[in-house]
Structure 1
């Protein structure tokens, strides 16, 4: 049977991709950020996951105001890096796992989640930056990836409770897949940040670290945080953290932390990173 062995949470700040691509990841500014991922890179090499279900949000690369799915799952064979205005990142093509993706899509829809199924799309920094942070500079990504895109760009985004429940449903679907696969679930985005307006540059380290605390152990308090609290305490883009809750919901009742990293600043954003294992 397929099994979810770990969960990873990480910010997906586009500047991290720029730093990686320009070989600036060990300079004075970026060095402390990337150093917080060194443990994870070594751990991933040892873990050798077969598939990553990567939860992220598109930034007007695959979707635009013509259509905005709340939850979309990629069931295609491969996904090319998107051109976000300055050319595609020179990183490997992302290869999917259609059999597992379709199985999950079926399980989620029968579990009463209205999924949008995507067979062809380009993927932007929301997906490729986490892969670079975990695997570094590689000729091919060492895992198959199932993209799971969440709308956190246009109102209304899904609630944290709905995201957590989606993670629980993903876990049920993976557990019913007959092939022996080592599966990880990654939740990306965040942490506190606002990119525009009078509060641009907002970082709330106290709230961020309380959120990190809430991802660990057997509490489910994070699923009940209302949208207005994310907006008030973490800025307009802090709502991205509901995507971490999909990963957390997939981990089961209790988690243990294997690694934790928090750093301020990266551009005008806080960087958060967690590696969790189910501890049920």
Structure 2
């Protein structure tokens, strides 16, 4: 039976892709950022390699635009090409999908009351390829895992709430747990941390808030799922809302997590870099949520 064994969160800062592609990873400005992923690369190579990664990311107006804005979209194709973001496609391998698991997850999510958009042809941008580079290295001739892309709208208002993202993670866990093939599955949440790219607050970094967020991904607290959009905007800048995608990863890991590795670094560009590797403590799988009389959502755990 398939199982989610680990969750990984990482910023997907595009300049890290540039550094990897142009042999600059040891330059003084980039080396501390890449050094923080050395533990993860060694761990994946020796013991933590996934068969499949459900990779949660956001498209940066490369495939979706104002004509089509899906809140949640899942890729079910056999492969996904790397898109041209203005300077030509990154010189990295195409992404190999896992159609059978992807379709199983899509069906399970829709029957679990999530209205998913399904895409069978779409090029992917740095939101997806930079995390693969950071985790597997810049010399990959092919990625050593298959990927189920899961795109989330955090670009155009309204984005999904943190609670909705957490619930989606729980639903993904149920979907994976019901898939019969023996697979080691990771869920990766990407984007963030605090950053703002435009306006009077361009360059905003909030180290204290970012590290609070990293702290609360660990253990059994669920405080993060209740943070309102306005707090992300106020504390982490207009692009900090990307961190709700990390909550899909966290929701998929069950009641309690432990931290295997953590890395935080600024500056990289005008974006705070965060990275964490988590594993579930008790292996429980969240059951479908139930609704109480006052409309509150509660979720039980399948032991």
Structure-1 residue corresponding to 2:268? 266
Task: Find the aligned partners of 2:160 and 2:49 in 1 and give their Cα distance.
Answer: 32
Structure-1 residue corresponding to 2:65? 64
**Deviation by residue 1:1-56 (Cα, 9 ceiling, x = unmatched):** 00000000000000000000011011111000000000000111122210000000
**Deviation by residue 1:65-104 (Cα, 9 ceiling, x = unmatched):** 1100000000000000010011000000100000000000
SS at match of 2:266: strand
Task: Find the aligned partners of 1:141 and 1:8 in 2 and give their Cα distance.
Answer: 17
Structure-2 residue corresponding to 1:4? 4
Structure 1: runs of 5 or more not aligned: none
Which of 133, 139, 142 does residue 140 from structure 1 map onto?
142
User: Structure 1 residue runs of 4+, over 2 Å off?
Assistant: none
Structure with max Cα Rg = 2
Task: Find the aligned partners of 1:62 and 1:74 in 2 and give their Cα distance.
Answer: 12
SS at match of 2:129: helix
Which of 189, 192, 215 does residue 191 from structure 2 map onto?
189
Task: Find the aligned partners of 2:222 and 2:115 in 1 and give their Cα distance.
Answer: 23
Structure-2 residue corresponding to 1:234? 236
Task: Find the aligned partners of 2:152 and 2:146 in 1 and give their Cα distance.
Answer: 19
TM normalised by structure 2 equals: 0.92
Task: Find the aligned partners of 2:32 and 2:202 in 1 and give their Cα distance.
Answer: 23
Shift of 1:126: 0.1
SS at match of 2:198: coil
The reply on whether 1:36 has 2:58 as its aligned counterpart is no
Task: Find the aligned partners of 1:11 and 1:26 in 2 and give their Cα distance.
Answer: 19
Task: Find the aligned partners of 1:248 and 1:86 in 2 and give their Cα distance.
Answer: 34
Structure 2: runs of 5 or more not aligned: 283-303
Task: Find the aligned partners of 1:36 and 1:5 in 2 and give their Cα distance.
Answer: 21
Task: Find the aligned partners of 2:264 and 2:49 in 1 and give their Cα distance.
Answer: 25
SS at match of 1:269: coil
Structure-1 residue corresponding to 2:26? 26
Task: Find the aligned partners of 1:125 and 1:48 in 2 and give their Cα distance.
Answer: 22
Task: Find the aligned partners of 1:23 and 1:275 in 2 and give their Cα distance.
Answer: 26
**Deviation by residue 1:90-137 (Cα, 9 ceiling, x = unmatched):** 000100000000000000000000000000000000000000000012
SS at match of 1:275: strand
Structure-1 residue corresponding to 2:215? 213
Task: Find the aligned partners of 1:259 and 1:59 in 2 and give their Cα distance.
Answer: 28
TM normalised by structure 1 equals: 1.00
Shift of 1:262: 0.1
